[in-house]
Chain A
Amino acid sequence: GAVVSQHPSRVICKSGTSVKIECRSLDFQATTMFWYRQFPKQSLMLMATSNEGSKATYEQGVEKDKFLINHASLTLSTLTVTSAHPEDSSFYICSASRPGHGYTFGSGTRLTVV
């Protein structure tokens, strides 16, 4: 079946630094990738949608300059949290999709900013 690899699974960084999270579709080409943020005991909130080779579409209220999304190939999308602050601490999950095949989720990244 379709597999999406997300790395790292956990990361701790200092306030003010940047963190990059990778999302790879291992055995299929993902035309679209989605990035979600999940606060403890809450649902997933869509942050942005990205299509290969084009700029990401951010949801309302998401700072595009803080959460940089790159979808350089059909198998790789990255989310960079720039100048991270403690309030950015969260669980980030990516999802990859292709027409007719639904969605496949990564295993998530727990970001802690200290």
Chain B
Amino acid sequence: AQSVTQLGSHVSVSEGALVLLRCNYSSSVPPYLFWYVQYPNQGLQLLLKYTSAATLVKGINGFEAEFKKSETSFHLTKPSAHMSDAAEYFCAVSLFGNEKLTFGTGTRLTIIP
């Protein structure tokens, strides 16, 4: 079975600072990995996904993530935080890209003005 672990339920960064949200995965087969963002009382919006192509994946809103097999990690980064980035972020894994998603526990990102 596959799973993801998100380290840090809350992360606070200053506006303009680097954003780093951590995700480690466990999977018996090459995984499909996703990062989603959720704003209050809304559904999930896909930021980016890894599907075994390039290990550095660029997403929307300036986010990117790097797949590191040796570290079983898929951390999400953004060079410069913006106030609008404040939200809940979820890392997720699936087996073949359209099977059920397994979510991490989420990380709430707060941006300090």
- Give A contacts to B, CB under 8 Å: 4, 6, 31-32, 34, 41-44, 46, 49, 91, 93, 95, 97-103, 105-108, 110
Contacts and interface: CB of A to CB of B under 8 A. Distances in A.
Contact of A103 (B42, B46, B105, B108): B46
A93 B43 contact: yes
Nearest to A6: B43
B41 A91 contact: yes
Nearest to A97: B98
Contact of A43 (B41, B97, B100, B104): B104
A86 to B, nearest CB: 19
Report, as a range, how many residues of chain B touch the other chain.
20 to 34
A108 B105 contact: no
A32 B98 CA distance: 8
Nearest to A38: B38
B101 interface: yes
A34 B100 contact: yes
B100 A110 contact: no
A93 B98 contact: no
Nearest to A110: B41
Interface string B26-65: 0000000010100001111110010000000000000000
20 contacts: A32-B98, A41-B108, A42-B105, A43-B104, A44-B44, A44-B90, A44-B103, A46-B102, A91-B41, A97-B98, A98-B98, A101-B98, A102-B34, A102-B46, A102-B97, A103-B46, A103-B101, A105-B43, A105-B44, A108-B41
Contacts of B105: 42-43
A110 B43 CA distance: 11
A67 B100 CA distance: 18
B74 to A, nearest CB: 15
Given A44-B44, A93-B43, 11 more contacts: A4-B43, A41-B108, A43-B104, A44-B103, A46-B100, A95-B44, A97-B98, A102-B49, A102-B97, A105-B44, A108-B42
B43 A106 contact: yes
Nearest to A98: B98
Contacts of A34: 100-101
